[in-house]
Structure 1
């Protein structure tokens, strides 16, 4: 991909960033609805993908920002693609062995990011799916003292997805919430109790009900993003400056 380097100046709303490119102020689409306030600061170097679509309101999309010497991916929807491709390629051992892979499975009023199952044939030669597994993917960019935390802003939608997984788990399905750390400095995961206690509590409830939690990180480069094939640890308790409190 041919990225254009720019300098972040301002974010007038969650979808638009004002960036300086070759001395001119341009508008760029921000493909991440999180606050990202610790990343998108005045003067930060950003990497933009230009668009030749004449119907677009912005000439660029903001894909990467440099933070503490590292390249951070802000393209939140790309997290789903990275995880999906890694599952199909057998790079996530906990989710290997499935023969059926599907993106955006509709369940009631929600869409789960990834649906996995095994395809089998009955005695009449008809195919059917068994051992269903539902995977919801969350991209994580907020890093606090090496801890990756999600969300960086309250997300009712995120809590709704967790409740859907809880319901599916109670129906006998395998369910997984997958946190993909998109900042190279993250080496451990914890829910963001301070920013969103509702999501954090719901995540604890989901885990208690048997919903699995997987944490991986990605290797970010301008010529491509790859999943690092090693799972990371997590803790669901609250974290404070003077220590950790597990409720």
Structure 2
């Protein structure tokens, strides 16, 4: 964040512009494409109150199966765009690891995806030189001035994951939670304690016992 060097991580083809009309449910948004009203898929279940606003310019890519023809992946934010698609966020994060672009993960590689930890499934098991680390990724797409924030609504799933990473650390293991600040022009990440105080309590406890709490910045460049 801040003055960090910018890297191109994932290239998208067949990007289609759309105009946001309304959110129908957690996974479907109604948009206008070339004057036609179309339902598109969205995989980010956050409220996205800053972005799913009628009249906003969005960016879709083709979807080759299911009931919808497109996936809404980004929404214009000033001169760039917020990357709201969680699958693409994670793909970019994985590319960053493989290219050694994240200093605290240099020399590490992903050895497992969607791995069980206690009663939860976490995103990654990362293998480093002399230890393995469980790592969970969270999408921070709420903007408050120069900060990206998470969550944008109470998240029992987020609380459960952080609590599991905390317990693993207390047992002597290594664990981390990474907040993907997928917004352009943000300087830092902040937890949104106003909407989920209990999650913040878990996060503070996790930090105190040595769970790594990190953030990385991503955005979509439509040019």
TM-score (norm 1): 0.80
SS in 2 for 1:178: strand
| C-alpha contact 2:80 2:221 (8 A) present in aligned 1 | no
| C-alpha contact 1:80 1:113 (8 A) present in aligned 2 | no
Q: How does 1:114-133 map to 2 (within 5 A)?
A: 114-118=124-128, 131-133=131-133
Distance in 2 (CA, whole Å) between partners of 1:162 and 1:141 is: 18
Aligned to 1:171: 171
RMSD over aligned Cα, in angstroms? 1.7
Gap regions ≥5 residues in structure 2: 1-12
CA drift of 1:66 comes to 0.6
Gap regions ≥5 residues in structure 1: 120-129, 224-247
| C-alpha contact 1:87 1:96 (8 A) present in aligned 2 | yes
Q: How does 1:49-128 map to 2 (within 5 A)?
A: 49-53=61-65, 56-98=66-108, 101-118=111-128
Distance in 1 (CA, whole Å) between partners of 2:171 and 2:93 is: 25
Higher relative contact order (CA 8 A, sep 6+): 2
Does 1:48 pair with 2:48? no
Q: Paired residues, what number?
A: 211
Larger proportion of strand: 1
| C-alpha contact 2:127 2:133 (8 A) present in aligned 1 | yes
Residue from 6, 9, 29 that aligns with 1:17: 29
SS in 2 for 1:157: helix
Aligned to 1:7: 19
Distance in 2 (CA, whole Å) between partners of 1:217 and 1:190 is: 13
CA drift of 1:151 comes to 0.4
- From the CA coordinates, give the structure whose radius of gyration is larger: 1
Deviates more, 1:206-215 or 1:100-109: 100-109
CA drift of 1:102 comes to 2.3
CA drift of 1:99 comes to 5.5
Q: Deviations over 1:100-143 (max 9, x none)?
A: 63222222321221112257xxxxxxxxxx51111111121111
